[in-house]
Structure 1
């Protein structure tokens, strides 16, 4: 082990990962103070605990990987001397709780990975010293709630991953302080309700993932603070109805995914306000009726997917104003009739192609019914 440390240390990095280690001596890194070690990888071992001062001699460290071990607990002072640390990876351990002071002093830390542990609660103030943090990954834990102001000091954070937790509600103020956040992932939680104002202050958010939850409705004012949003993912929820005017504040949205919900109809002007939208996915819902004017205002839409629904007829003028549309998915519906003018408003080339394809869809549908 000593020879390994010495040989690696000359390169300003030490890698002792994947060696089935179960314990590290407290003084393992003593004597390496003058090597100016910048990178340490002790991942992919079987470590269950770490001495509280094991990293003290490594005050030049920039990257520390402790991922894929069996750690259940970390001493609150274990990282105190690592004031120049930029990246800390604790992914895939068995951490149940982290003390409020665990990251104290790590003001230069840019990347923190806590994913795939067993965290059920975050102590208020736990992230307060992480003033330079850019990327925070807490995916795959057991968080049920986010305390108000838990991220209040993370002014530089750009990416926040909360996917695959147990979150069932988002309180107003839980994202306070994230004024520069660009991407927020809340996929695969148990969200049933989003309090009005829970996204307040996320003025630079570009991507919001809320797929695979249990949302049935949206509260009024939910879009407040999301004026810069460009991509919104809401697939695999329990949405049954979209209120007309809900999307009025999403003028910069370019992609909206609403697939795998329970929508039965789209009312007139339901997407009003989405003048920048280019991609709209409505596949695998329960759509039976599209009101004329339901796509009003979508003059820049390029891709529309309404496949795998229960549509039997398309109303005259339903695609009016979609002059930029290039791709339209209609497969796996239950069409019984076809009107020549339903594709009015589309480009000539797409309109001609769709008429030909639609006739084929009807013939295939009739043929299938006769056989059955």
Structure 2
């Protein structure tokens, strides 16, 4: 009886719980004829969806068995998204009645279980786009799925475990235009596997284990991605056929020689970066050479190239971007004006350059030249004046010396001139071990951006920036160990962004109301006081101010700190920007500094001073009185 009394409340609770209404799942979002039911922990489509639904998104749910009941008997769908479920069974013939279904996404499911039963996914009579990626499918499994897909144009098999592309793999999908096989384990492609696909224009075979392509013959293909494989050789068949290939990506492979491309090609984009190229052998008969008349972009970076003969470019009449950075090239020379006439960007960064020469009238279209990381020390002093269209020079991490006006007239060796380059807008000379910056160093060059950072001990002449008053917008002088600036920055009326961080400045450069400074970086200097009048002159234009890591005095910068706290100036490092207050053992965050912190202290010191003075006056008065009393004559009386 006692046990029953103990169990009775529990039984009542259980019965009550079972009688409650089932938990109502969140409703799908329905917009016109589109139903979005993703991420709702569903096992099937809700039964209350309106009729005539054309788009059904059931992604990121818990659907396991795909049947007509699962889809709530909606047969007029045009787009069905079942991505990221747990589907391992599909009712045979399910898609037969879906005559309007164009897009089907079954990615990230367990279709390898279904494939083991060798059951066809179709017929997919009208499906044009099919995604079967990340389903643990391996060789042969897709043959069943694609056996009856006559309308299929776009197919994704990315992220599976396919090791071999059989000759019959796509026999049931003759209209395929785009195939994605990225991130599989493909070792072999049987001959003729893609031959029947006359409409195929894009093929992604990246991130596989393919070792060679010896008979490339897909004339209609426009985009081929073979990056991140183990390709040692790429060779097309000898043919006079016209190839439509526009983009070929062979990056991150193991090729030691330049690919042998179709002679009659329209290739515009070629990437052979991160291979093992040691040379671009351009010898041989004209029939053996590769003609790249339409090539616009060529990337050969991160290889082992030691030289780059200009005859290599004899057939590249349309090249615009050339990237040969991170190689072992020791010299680069273009003497023939017929070569690289259209190139706009050349990247020679991080090589071993010792020589750089340009002939007269060469590289007429070159706008950007990257030479960073070459340790260049000696160049012809006027080498950059020979580039009539140059806008951007990247010379970071070299060892150049800038010519002064006097030395330039003497044609002195060992320095480079950056003056009188009428098109130059961006110049990076950071980390060049520059010791001096002579007067008129950039006169006649309308620079907009100048980076002189990471040149410790740089001595700037007062007129070193002469001629840049109306053009210079960005000036970087960080990490130069500068203690004071002799150069007058106030004359640079177009200057908007200046970086003076990580120096030894003890005073802010003088600016006036004509300045246009919007961003000022003063971090990590030796600034105790920021001249308020100078900062006030910038208030009308200044938008961003970095001022952390300085030994600022709280009470000597009260007006400035109040301006920062109350104005629209943004201080990104305000949480770490501090000042020193003599009554606090630790630096004070500038946001917490108030007028009273210094005003009250001043009043107290004033009161103490007054008290001390008063005490001195009182003591002095007492001593004076006693002294006077001591000197007063005394009257004596005599009795006869």
Place the TM-score, normalised by the shorter chain, in its bin. Answer: 0.7 to 0.9
Matched with 2:73 is 57
Q: Within 2, Cα distance between the matches of 1:78 and 1:253?
A: 43
1:114 aligns with 2:132: yes
Equivalent pair of 1:205/1:226 in contact (CA under 8 Å): no
From 261, 265, 271, the counterpart of 1:251: 265
Q: Within 2, Cα distance between the matches of 1:262 and 1:173?
A: 29
Structure of higher RCO (CA pairs closer than 8 Å, 6+ residues apart): 1
1:279 aligns with 2:297: yes
SS at match of 2:346: strand
Instruction: Show the 5 A alignment for 1:292-331.
Output: 292-314=310-332, 317=335, 321-331=339-349
Q: Within 1, Cα distance between the matches of 2:39 and 2:365?
A: 61
From 43, 47, 51, the counterpart of 2:59: 43
Segment drifting more, 78-87 vs 179-188: 78-87
Q: TM-score, normalised by structure 2?
A: 0.50
Note closer, same or farther for the CA distance 1:39–1:271 as it changes in structure 2 (3 Å cut). same
Note closer, same or farther for the CA distance 1:236–1:225 as it changes in structure 2 (3 Å cut). farther
1:154 is displaced (CA, Å) by 2.7
1:15 aligns with 2:36: yes
1:260 aligns with 2:274: yes
Matched with 1:134 is 153
User: Deviations 1:35-73 (Å, cap 9, x if unpaired)?
Assistant: 333222221112333347644832222221111112244
1:194 aligns with 2:194: no
Note closer, same or farther for the CA distance 1:54–1:313 as it changes in structure 2 (3 Å cut). same
Matched with 2:532 is none
Q: Within 2, Cα distance between the matches of 1:125 and 1:291?
A: 52
1:317 is displaced (CA, Å) by 4.5
Matched with 1:144 is 163
1:346 aligns with 2:340: no
RMSD: 3.7
Per residue, is there more helix in 1 or in 2? 2
Matched with 2:190 is 171
Q: Within 1, Cα distance between the matches of 2:194 and 2:113?
A: 21
Q: TM-score, normalised by structure 1?
A: 0.82
1:207 is displaced (CA, Å) by 0.9
1:125 is displaced (CA, Å) by 5.1
1:314 is displaced (CA, Å) by 2.7
Note closer, same or farther for the CA distance 1:364–1:42 as it changes in structure 2 (3 Å cut). same
Segment drifting more, 287-296 vs 304-313: 287-296
Structure 1 unmatched runs, 5+: none
SS at match of 2:399: helix
SS at match of 2:215: coil
From 78, 83, 106, the counterpart of 2:99: 83
Matched with 1:240 is 256
Segment drifting more, 319-328 vs 174-183: 319-328
Equivalent pair of 1:258/1:282 in contact (CA under 8 Å): yes
SS at match of 1:293: helix
Matched with 1:288 is 306
1:284 is displaced (CA, Å) by 1.2
1:177 is displaced (CA, Å) by 2.3
1:103 aligns with 2:121: yes
Q: Within 1, Cα distance between the matches of 2:300 and 2:239?
A: 20
Segment drifting more, 66-75 vs 108-117: 66-75
Q: Within 1, Cα distance between the matches of 2:238 and 2:119?
A: 34
Equivalent pair of 1:87/1:109 in contact (CA under 8 Å): yes
SS at match of 1:96: helix
Equivalent pair of 1:320/1:344 in contact (CA under 8 Å): no
Segment drifting more, 50-59 vs 173-182: 50-59
1:263 is displaced (CA, Å) by 0.6
Bigger radius of gyration, 1 or 2?
2
Q: Within 2, Cα distance between the matches of 1:17 and 1:348?
A: 52
Note closer, same or farther for the CA distance 1:294–1:48 as it changes in structure 2 (3 Å cut). same
Q: Within 2, Cα distance between the matches of 1:279 and 1:247?
A: 15
